[in-house]
Amino acid sequence: MSEQKSKLDKAMKLLTPKLAQPFYNMSNKKRFSINEIRLRNKRYLTIVIGEDEFYILSDGSISRDCKNVLKITEEDIDYTYKTALRNTIYSFKREISLGYIITEGGNRVGFCGTAVLDDRGKNDTLKNISGISIRIAREVFGAADDLINKLGLLEDGIKNVLILGSPSSGKTTLLRDLCRQLGMRKRISLIDEKNEISATFKSAAQNDIGNFTDVFDSYTKYYGILSAVKIMSPQLIICDEIGTKDDLEALDYAVNSGVKIIATMHSSSIDDAFKKPYMKELFSRKAFDYIVLLGTGTDLGKIFSIRKI
């Protein structure tokens, strides 16, 4: 609970005093239930709890009615944006182009606005920031217990596992706890392309990812996997959200090098995963021993089914 309070307090510091005060007026129970804080220019201060979004009043109460709700100003947006980037915007060009940055405590600050494109039509930077989402970091110790027990990952040894799930089904939370538990026994290379698993801040992981885990922060999965195999001699590679041709080529290289893989992919069913481009060949090569599908709704983050390949 104290760890969660620390993460919330660090999120509050990203807000102007006017916007932060309502959160200090809340009960701890209500504060700890918050998943995201949302700021939209010229509109209202809101929070996300579960899948629902609510307005916040100045006294810390929540409402579905925008009457008497705190309004967001351009100054509020500017303050949070610059504070998240530590007032050194030009040092975080990559993060700005991607639209998010990990801040102290592991909280992720995402922002949207007007894209400035480069000559290839890709985002070079952003201007006129219009919306900000502060996602409160959460470590769920024990989230991987069921998977570890069912596959015998501690007793019987590491397997190659592909974890499937819809967006926001708990895949990243599960990977983080797998890292924490397995990384106390095995050498792990964590390819953390979006920095959501380790939440590395100033070269230190903000989340507990195990004592034997090496972090490849912000590497693409392709270069991260190839570098890990060549440099760190891992026993296990963990990565999130595979799916491109390059990702799969790198995974194939790792498996052929004798390194075990645990990865996730967006998919609503095991059958759909087999239909995805580039995946059939990887499955045909027996790159994975098991495919795990996570549930949704009331079964969020729980194992829905396991298929042995």
pLDDT digits (tens, 9 = 90+) for 10-28: 999 999 999 999 999 998 8
> H/E element holding 176?
helix 171-182
Q: What is the pLDDT of residues 48-93, one digit of tens each?
A: 998 799 999 999 999 999 988 999 999 999 999 999 999 887 778 8
**What CATH number has the domain bearing residue 6?**
3.30.450
pLDDT of 94 strictly over 90: no
Between strands 260-266 and 200-201, the pairing is unpaired
- Write down which residue in 135, 162, 179 finishes a domain: 135
The pLDDT of residue 253 is: 92
Whether 283 and 207 map to the same domain: the answer is: yes
Domain with 79 in it: 2-135
159 pLDDT band, cuts 50/70/90, is very high
Between strands 260-266 and 204-205, the pairing is unpaired
Whether 202 and 221 map to the same domain: the answer is: yes
Whether 94 and 196 map to the same domain: the answer is: no
Q: What is the pLDDT of residues 281-300, one digit of tens each?
A: 788 878 899 999 999 877 87
Whether 183 and 126 map to the same domain: the answer is: no
What's the total number of domains in the chain?
Answer: 2
Whether 199 and 297 map to the same domain: the answer is: yes
Q: Tell me how crowded residue 139 is: count the other CB atoms within 10 A of its CB.
A: 18
**What CATH number has the domain bearing residue 235?**
3.40.50.300
Whether 300 and 153 map to the same domain: the answer is: yes
> What is the average pLDDT value for the chain, to the nearest integer?
91
Within-domain flag for 300 = yes
Whether 178 and 275 map to the same domain: the answer is: yes
Whether 88 and 215 map to the same domain: the answer is: no
Q: What is the pLDDT of residues 208-266, one digit of tens each?
A: 999 999 999 989 999 999 999 999 999 999 999 998 889 889 998 999 999 999 999 99
Within-domain flag for 151 = yes
Within-domain flag for 262 = yes
Interatomic CA distance for residues 262 and 186, integer angstroms: 13
1 pLDDT band, cuts 50/70/90, is low
Whether 130 and 176 map to the same domain: the answer is: no
- Write down which residue in 105, 135, 165 finishes a domain: 135
Whether 179 and 291 map to the same domain: the answer is: yes
- Write down which residue in 93, 113, 135 finishes a domain: 135
Interatomic CA distance for residues 304 and 258, integer angstroms: 29
